[in-house]
Every structure is written in structure tokens, then in C-alpha cells.
Structure 1
Amino acid sequence: MERKLFIKKMALLALVPSVFIAACSSEQQSNGEAAKGKQQTFTCPMHPQVIKNEMGTCPICGMDLVPFEKNSNEKALKIDEKRQVLANITTILIGESSLSSAKQLNGRLVVNPEKSSYISSRIAGRIEQLYIRETGVKVGKGQALYKLYSEQLATLQQEYLMAIAQEKQFQGDKIERQLVAAAKQKLLLYGQSENQVQQLVKAQKKDPYVVFYAPEGGVVAELSVTQGQYVTEGSPILRLEGYDRLWVEADVYPNEVKNIELGQKVKVVIAGWEDQPQEVGIDFITPSFQSGTQLTQIRGSIPNPGGQWQPGLQANVFLPSASNNNVLTLPVDAVIRDGKGMHVWIKKGKDSFEPRLVKTGEENDSKVGITAGLVNGDQVVVTGAYLLYSEYILKKGKNPNEELKINNQ
């Protein structure tokens, strides 16, 4: 009997380690599965689409990966007060106010053709001396442009001298006076100045070489001849452009034209001279669209004292629009915009911030109207919003715009 009791005790003792080992193994397996469910993941701060289960570097940019909770559904970010100060995170209570906006149009400065001069040869001959040999040179009124050798001009000069000599022989004869006047008029029409005609009379000698002068000042935009070249009557010599007054042209879409009138005043800002805005009246609205586009143009003129601006410079044209009252407005930088949408950050409690989708309306240089997503009294982040946006992507590996859209569906 005692022997049987002893055998039973020994069997029980042998069974205890097996049960303990099985329990430990089960507990370890359970702990392993729990650890597997909470496995740490890593992402790239610059490329949140990169997600790995172990620490490493980004295959795109080579940056070190950082940990994040990809399965976290918490929308809010926790930023303590000290970090808020360091990140310069400030908020305002959104409220209704008036908003006056202006539509910005892409424009440019162009040459005013009314200030251009086309100089052509008045008479046939050879360019003996070309005083201006390159474009871009500034020319003053009365400046010598070229010297021409012309046998035809020499013949006209001789005709004028003979007419004067005959008039002296028949003083008081009306016909002789008319012949002198006609001969002089020919010289003037062929480009001789009054001073050159007087010098001819004084010298009493024809001269086949004649210098032609600029009828007005400007910048040489085109040079059509070379020294030694023969030209015919009417051949182009050069083109001068005046830059003391330029045109401002701006592109306009069809739905914008209806709000524009001739004589309307607009603000023009030249790129690089933002501190010198100009008020320009609209002088012309192009009645047709540009070839291959759905754009028309408006035009005005702008003074250019001293020629500080050159044709081709970019100009921003601002069309004023009516002022809207009782509109929820925010500073422009408070709204985060990307290809996924627009959102702002709302402060919830002392250290909590949440993204919220919004829709915007009209805006100007400093303010934007909010048409949906916010209500009067919301506490909105106005500085540091981009830092919160980056922090959200860094910690959660998600774009807040995408996440908010999914949650709203």
C-alpha cells in the first residue's frame, strides 16, 4: 500500500515541470504575439510613403528613418507649452470682418509703338560712313546717323545753285522765284536740313556727300544696313524706340473681361520694384482672343522716367473687386495647401492641436475668406501651422488632408 502511494507521489512530481514548461511556453507565445501586434515601424521625414519595420535609411534620399505609429487613429497632436513657445505657435479666435480682394493678372512691359521711329533713305546712294553700328545704342535728337554719297543729290544741289544764279540775273521775276523755291523744296524733301541748304548757298559748290541726322531721340532697336552698302530711295536704315513711356499688357480670361471697363484704374507692380506701385488706366481691351488660347489682353501706358524699366519685364496687374462684409477671414499663411486639399489647425485644450479641412473664397495679399469648415470663435493657429503639418506627417506617416477626407466619408 505504501509502495503504491510512493509511486503516485513520484508521478505527480514528474508532471509539475511539464505543466510549468507548457504554461511558460504559452505565456511566451502570448507575449510574442502581443509584441508582434505592437511592432515599431519607421518612416522617412522627407518621404512618408517609405515605411519599414526596422531602423535604417531612406532608399530615396538616404536620411535616417524615424519611428512612428502607423496604426494610430489619434488626430490630435500633443505639443507642450515649452515647445509651443520654441516653435512660435500662436493662435487667434476667428471672427467675421470685411474682405476686399484684388484679382492678380500676369502682365509685361512692352514697347509703345507710338514712340517708335522708322528711318529710311530719302534718296539713292552709297552708305559712305555709318556712325551707328550696333543695336541698343541710345541716340539723341539731331545726332548724326550716317553719311551718304549720292550723285542724284549732287544734281539737285547743282539745280538749286543754277536757279539762284538765274534769279539774280532776273531780279523781281516771279517765275524765277518760284523755280528757286521749287529747287529748294526738292532738297528739303530729300533729307537736306535748312542749315545744310544755307551752307550750300554759302559755299556755292555742290557736295555729293550728305550727313543725315536723327529726327528724334531713342534707342536703336534694329539696324538694316552696313557701311559701304548701296541703298535705294525708301530703303530701311534703322528703327528707333522710345522708352520714356511703355505699355503694360496683361492676360485676361473671358469670365474676367465683363468686370473690366475702359478707363478703369488698376495697380501695377513691376517685378523688382515692388516698392514703386503704379496706378494705370486701362486704355484698350483686345476684342479677340490670342491665337491658340482662351486669353485676351488689356493694355495701359506707364511713364518710365529715366528709362529705369526695360521692355520685357514682368508686371503684376491687380484688378480691384467689391468689398465683402461679414466674412470669416484668416491670415493667408494659416491655411495649409497642397495637392490633397486645404486645412487649418485648431487648438483644442492647452496642448492639443487638430487639423480641420476648410474651403476658401476670395483672398488678397494678407487675408483669405473661409467659406466652410470653421465657425465663429474657433481658435486657429496662425503661425507655426506648417510645423504642425510636418510634425503630423513625421509622427503618423499620413497627410492630414487625406486622413480628414477618409474620416469624413
Structure 2
Amino acid sequence: MASTSLIARDLFKPPPTPPTRPPMTNALQDKPWQTRWRPWLTLLLAGLLLGATACQQTKPDLDQTAKAAAYYTCPMHPQIHADAPGDCPICHMHLVAVAPPVAQKKPVVASAVYTCPMHPQVREKQPGSCPICGMDLVKTSARPAISQLPDTDLATNDLIITAQQLALGNIQIQTMGTGPTPATSIRQTDMPVPQTVLTGTVTANARRTESISSRVAGRVEKLYVRQTGQLLRRGAPLFSVYSEELQTLQREYLLALAQDLLVAEPTYRHFAEATAQKLRLLGVSGAQLRQLAQSGKPNPLVTYYSPRTGTVQTLAVVQGQYVAEGSPILTLTDLSSVWVEAQLYPAEANRLPLGQTVAVQVAGQAYPVRGKVVFRSPELSGSSQLTLARIEVANPAGRLQPGAQANVLLNNLPAAPATRPTVSAAVETALRVPPAAIIHNGAVSYVWKQTGERQFRRVRVRLGDGTSTTVPVLAGLQAGDAVVTTGAYLLESEFTLRQGAGDDHMSGMAM
């Protein structure tokens, strides 16, 4: 302000006496010099005061502004971009700083793991096959957050599926404690003998099956059977073969017969009989030998005939094919009697003693037929824990075809006498579910309980000793609970794919 006062004093200081000028002739010659210079002095003083006031304001930190600004632009001309503050080259306004965009945080992506839909305890970091069942591992996120699962109830962690998934998965529900079904709560001591239906398949009777092979090496010149399923009668021609061995034996036989007529000793007769026996062993019939002796010349082709009536099951050659000695030609089966091979649990084997007559219902037939149990396997088939029973059924009309599905009805058969085991009161009154409703994960068992229209929850249960049709649930369920009896494994697979294989976030673990 001191500098401002000095400037003002100098301005109002009267100037020195001007030199003598000649007299003026215009209108300004009568006005003093203060009147003529006063407007210009006022404007100059106002400008100096404004400049002093602006200098006293705090200057902005240009370094911080430059760091915080992405670029500088003109408010009136946004096409102007500058890296440093300055003036607009068009309108000379001060450029303003434009802040950089706020950086968005990248979402944290969970690392991927691979698990088996049927065995969720298997977790691998790389794709491959399940070491338990051999299925291909599927990719899923490692422990995803519950909030990231749109198809999961956040309050209960239940699995929610769509209506289409419910229909395609054939999800069936059974309410515990209602209806005369295997899932109803009943006393074991009051249970009647279960009505059992065994599934089986119609097969060919091996006792009535014969394989026909080539007796000699040669070429099949004529094949009379061209397709499987063809019914052949006994004595029907099968094929004709040309063989050097047969040609030689025929010549020897004719030569021995001719020499036997010329010599009285029976030497050549014995030789002819030995040669004829060789031809019989090679499949030449007695009628063919008599025809050979009458004609007196060897037959280039030897025809073989069907030894029995039957249906062609397999055909291994074509016409014109060379065959070796012992090569299979075809298989004949007499379908007037067939077998029904049924699978059953070892606990049910005592209901099918050898010689027992049972009823068999074959698919496509209106009425069941009767059969006799002729064989019961003493061992289990692989890992299925099932054994095999073979039932022989008469099939005179040929209506029962091998490969057809059949059911063995044990409803009217008496069960073998056995005492009922002593059970506890908890088992007697336990709720019972079918085996298909139970999911086993090592030593832990689960069932799927319905909690909404399309909402399900996996519940841990404790099981008792059951049968092939029902299993008692000792803890984990209550009467009135709706349990999934069909499609539980599909829900388990869907749940595994959505939430991973861990069990620490499951609901229903406490019992």
C-alpha cells in the first residue's frame, strides 16, 4: 500500500510550469489542465488498485494442480488440450484443469478348480478324470462367495432351480409319514413280505445252441444261408466247399472199391472202409458216400447240411471266401426253449430255489408265462453286488425273442422261513426313504428336502440298516418333510457346480 500512496502523490503533484505557448484559439483554451487530465488519471488509479489487490491473493500450487489434472482446456473452446496451464490461443482465457477419471477396482476373480459332479470331494487344479468313477472333471470357481450366486437363497443357502430344470430332471417328491409308500413311517415288525419284481433279459438257451465250423480247408463255392434270423430245418443245405483233401480221399475210396472187386482177399475192402470213415469224420454223410460209390467219380464240391432245426444267430463267412480247418461258419439256436436271466440281491436269492416255478412277464406279451429256475450263480457280478438267476421258459411258438426285457414276478412265491431280526424302538418307528433318495459322501449321508416351490436344501441324516427297497432314517428328518426320491443326484450335481465341493457352508449339518 505504501507504493500505491507514492504513486498517487506523484500523480496529483502539480506539474512544472509549462513554457509560454502561443494563445489558443479553440474552446479548450479557457479550461485549466486539471480538468483536462482528471478522467485519465482516475482510470489509471483504478487499474493500479486492482492489480495490487490481485497480487495479495494466495497463488495456487501449480505443481499439485499439474499432478491432479489429466489435461487443461478452455471453457469456451473444449477442443483445446494442453499439458500445462496457460491461456487459450483463441480467446486468451485461462485454461482450466480437467481431473483424471477415477480408477475402478478390478473384481477379484476366484481361481478355478475342477471337481467331479458325482464325487464333489474330488478337487483338482487342472482338468482331468475323476479317480473314483472316471468321469471328466468340470470347471468351477474356488469357494465363490454366496452373494455371487444368483440362484441361491442368501438366508438359508438353499438351491433354487428353474421350472424347466424341475421338469427335465424328473424331480419327484415324497412327504414323510403320508401314504402307503416305502417312505411312510411304519413298524418293521408289522411290515408284510415285500412284493418283489426282478428285472431280466431273454437270452438264447445255450443247451440248444450249436456252432457249425468248416471241417476242411477250402473255398466256400456256394452259401445257401445269407442272413441271420433265418429259420432252418434239419437237413437243409448250408454251404458247399471245394477242398483238395476231400478230392484226394474220394479218389482213394473209389480206387479201393475198384481193387476190392478184382482181388479175393479183403485187403482193399478194409482200406475202403477206413477211407470212408475219414470222409464221415470230415462231415460227409452216408447218403453222399453211397452216391459217390454209384457214380464212380469224385464230386468237386461237397455240401454240408444242417444237423438240427434252429434259427441262424451268427453268420461269419460270405460266398467265395477261403476258410481254414476249424473256421466258424454260422451258429444255430433252437428257440423252442429260451432262458430269462434275472438279477437279484443275495438277500432275495433264497426265494428262488432250484426247480422253483415262477411267472415271467415279457415285454410285448399280453400274458405272463411259467418258467423253472435252472441255475443260480454262486458269485456276485462285478461291483453291482447282484447275483444271477437263470429261468428256462418254453417257447414253442417262438414269440419270445432273445434280447427282450422281462420281469420275474415273485409276488405269489413264499419267502424262505426266517426269523425276523430284533430291532430297536428307534428303528421300528423310523421314517423310511428309498435308496435313490440318499447321497453318500464317504461316511456321511444326505437327502434333499424341499423348502419351497422350486427350492431345495441338502440335509445330513443318520441311517439304519435297510433293505433293497427302503432305508430307515434315524435322525435328520421329521414327519411331514418333503424329500426328493427321484433326481437327488441331479440336484447334488447342480449344487456342486454352483457352490463348489466344500461342506463347511452347507445348511442342515447339525443334527
TM interval, shorter chain, is: 0.5 to 0.7
2:201–2:405 CA contact under 8 A, matched in 1: yes
Aligned residue for 1:394?
A: none
The SS at the match of 2:414 is strand
2:351–2:416 CA contact under 8 A, matched in 1: no
Q: 1:200 to 1:403 in 2, by over 3 A?
A: closer
Q: Do residues 238 (structure 1) and 330 (structure 2) align? A: yes
The match for 2:318 among 211, 222, 226 is 226
RMSD: 3.8
2-structure distance, mates of 1:291, 1:157:
53
Superposed CA deviations along residues 228-261 of structure 1, whole A, max 9, x for unmatched, are 1111221111111221100111111122123432
The one-letter code matched in structure 1 to 2:263 is F
Aligned residue for 1:318?
A: 409
The match for 2:276 among 174, 178, 184 is 184
The one-letter code matched in structure 2 to 1:306 is A
The SS at the match of 1:281 is strand
TM-score by structure 1 length? Answer: 0.54
The one-letter code matched in structure 1 to 2:329 is I
Aligned residue for 1:137?
A: 230
How does 1:8-407 map onto structure 2 within 5 Å? 60=163, 102-171=195-264, 173-275=265-367, 277-319=368-410, 320-322=413-415, 401-402=480-481
Q: 1:99 to 1:294 in 2, by over 3 A?
A: closer
Kindly state the Cα deviation for residue 281 of structure 1 after the two structures are TM-superposed. Answer: 2.1
The SS at the match of 1:300 is strand
Q: 1:256 to 1:162 in 2, by over 3 A?
A: same
Kindly state the Cα deviation for residue 170 of structure 1 after the two structures are TM-superposed. Answer: 1.9
Q: 1:194 to 1:322 in 2, by over 3 A?
A: closer
2-structure distance, mates of 1:100, 1:194:
61
Kindly state the Cα deviation for residue 201 of structure 1 after the two structures are TM-superposed. Answer: 0.9
2-structure distance, mates of 1:261, 1:187:
48
2-structure distance, mates of 1:403, 1:311:
42
2-structure distance, mates of 1:120, 1:144:
14
Moved over 4 A (4+): 97-101, 337-341
Count of aligned pairs between the two proteins: 253
The one-letter code matched in structure 2 to 1:288 is E
Q: Which moved more, 1:287-296 or 1:175-184?
A: 175-184
The one-letter code matched in structure 1 to 2:257 is I
Superposed CA deviations along residues 258-316 of structure 1, whole A, max 9, x for unmatched, are 343222222211122242x2222211110111122100011120000121110111111
TM-score by structure 2 length? Answer: 0.44
1:101–1:323 CA contact under 8 A, matched in 2: no
Point out where structure 1 has 5 or more consecutive residues left out of the alignment: 1-58, 62-96, 325-336, 342-360, 363-399, 405-409
Kindly state the Cα deviation for residue 112 of structure 1 after the two structures are TM-superposed. Answer: 0.8
Kindly state the Cα deviation for residue 137 of structure 1 after the two structures are TM-superposed. Answer: 1.6
Aligned residue for 1:9?
A: none
Aligned residue for 1:79?
A: none
Superposed CA deviations along residues 332-388 of structure 1, whole A, max 9, x for unmatched, are xxxxx99799xxxxxxxxxxxxxxxxxxx99xxxxxxxxxxxxxxxxxxxxxxxxxx
2-structure distance, mates of 1:322, 1:120:
47
2-structure distance, mates of 1:192, 1:162:
18
Aligned residue for 1:47?
A: none
Q: 1:255 to 1:167 in 2, by over 3 A?
A: same
Q: 1:265 to 1:210 in 2, by over 3 A?
A: same
1-structure distance, mates of 2:366, 2:385:
29
1:103–1:321 CA contact under 8 A, matched in 2: no
1:102–1:321 CA contact under 8 A, matched in 2: no
Q: 1:239 to 1:403 in 2, by over 3 A?
A: closer
2:256–2:271 CA contact under 8 A, matched in 1: yes
Which structure has more helix as a fraction of its residues? Answer: 1
Superposed CA deviations along residues 105-156 of structure 1, whole A, max 9, x for unmatched, are 1111111111111111111111111111222222221111111111221111
1-structure distance, mates of 2:271, 2:357:
57
The one-letter code matched in structure 2 to 1:144 is P
1:100–1:323 CA contact under 8 A, matched in 2: no
The one-letter code matched in structure 1 to 2:212 is I
The SS at the match of 2:280 is helix
Aligned residue for 1:36?
A: none
2:220–2:322 CA contact under 8 A, matched in 1: yes
The SS at the match of 1:228 is coil
Aligned residue for 1:370?
A: none
The SS at the match of 1:136 is coil
Give me the identity figure in percent. Answer: 40
Q: 1:99 to 1:160 in 2, by over 3 A?
A: same
Point out where structure 2 has 5 or more consecutive residues left out of the alignment: 1-161, 165-189, 418-433, 438-447, 450-465, 468-478, 484-511
1:134–1:223 CA contact under 8 A, matched in 2: yes
Kindly state the Cα deviation for residue 174 of structure 1 after the two structures are TM-superposed. Answer: 3.2
1:111–1:246 CA contact under 8 A, matched in 2: yes
The SS at the match of 2:388 is strand
1:98–1:323 CA contact under 8 A, matched in 2: no
The one-letter code matched in structure 1 to 2:230 is V
1-structure distance, mates of 2:384, 2:318:
40
2-structure distance, mates of 1:403, 1:250:
34
2-structure distance, mates of 1:206, 1:260:
58
